Amino acid sequence: MSPLASYRRLLSLAGIGYVVVAFLGRLPLAMSQLGTLLLVSDATGRYAAGGLAAGALAVANAVGAPLAGGIADRVGQRPVVLAQSLTAGVALAALVAAVQAGAGTPVLVAAAAVAGFTMPQVGPLARVRWRPITHRTGSAQPRLVDAAFSYEGAADEASFVLGPALVGLGAVALSPRGALLAAAALLVVFGSWFALHSTARLTHALRASAAAHGESFVTVAFLTLCLAQLLIGVIFGATQTGTTALATAAGSPGLAGLVHSLLGVGSVLAGLATAALPARFGYDRRILVFAIGLVVLSSPLLLAGSLAALVPVVLVLGLAVAPYMISVFAAAERQVPVTRVGAAMTLLAGATGIGYAVGSGIAGRLADLGGHRPAFAVTVTAAALAVVLAVVRLRTQRPRPASPVTTPGELAAASQG
Task: Say whether pLDDT at 413 is over 70.
Answer: no
Q: How far apart are CA 346 and CA 61, in angstroms?
A: 10
Asked if pLDDT for residue 211 goes beyond 60, the answer is no
Q: What is the pLDDT of residues 232-244, one digit of tens each?
A: 989 988 888 888 7
Q: Around Cβ 396, how many Cβ atoms within 10 Å? A: 13
Residue 337: is its pLDDT beyond 80?
Answer: no
Domains of the chain: 1-204 (1.20.1250.20), 212-417 (1.20.1250.20)
The reply to whether the predicted model has a pTM over 0.75 is: yes
- The C-alpha angle with vertex 228 and arms to 227 and 233, in degrees rounded to 5, equals 90
pLDDT at 24: 94
Which class for 234: exposed (0-12), middle (13-18), buried (19 or more C-beta within 10 A)? buried
Query: Rounded to whole angstroms, how far apart are CA atoms 186 and 165?
Result: 15
More confident call, 315 vs 256: 315
CA-CA distance, 175 to 95, in Å (whole number)? Answer: 14
Nearest to 290 by CA among 235, 343, 333: 235
Q: How far, in Å, are 36, 97, 179, 209 from residue 175 at the CA level?
A: 12, 14, 6, 49
**Rounded mean pLDDT, 295-306:** 93
pLDDT for res 212: 46
Is the pLDDT at 351 greater than 50? The verdict is yes
pLDDT band at 133 (very low <50, low <70, confident <90, very high): confident
Burial class (CB in 10 A: 0-12, 13-18, 19+), 69: buried
Residue 215's pLDDT is 58
Residue 204's pLDDT is 63
pLDDT per position as a tens digit, 22-63: 999 999 988 888 788 778 877 887 766 777 888 888 889 988
Highest mean pLDDT among 66-75, 86-95, 161-170, 267-276 belongs to 86-95
pLDDT value, residue 282: 87
Q: What is the mean pLDDT of residues 339-355?
A: 85
Per-residue CA distances from 141 to 20, 146, 189, 206 (Å):
22, 8, 31, 18
Q: What mean pLDDT comes out for the span 119-148? A: 85
Most confidently modeled of 92-101, 132-141, 206-215?
Answer: 92-101
User: What 3-state DSSP class applies to 154?
Assistant: helix
In the predicted model, is pLDDT for residue 349 greater than 70?
yes
- Range among 34-38, 193-197, 265-269 with highest mean pLDDT value: 193-197
Q: Is the pLDDT of residue 295 over 80?
A: yes
Comparing C-alpha atoms, which of 154, 167, 151 is closest to residue 41?
167
Q: What is the pLDDT of residue 193?
A: 94
Helices (H), ranges, 250-340: 256-273, 283-298, 307-335
Read off the pLDDT of each residue in 5-28 and give the average, rounded to a whole number: 90
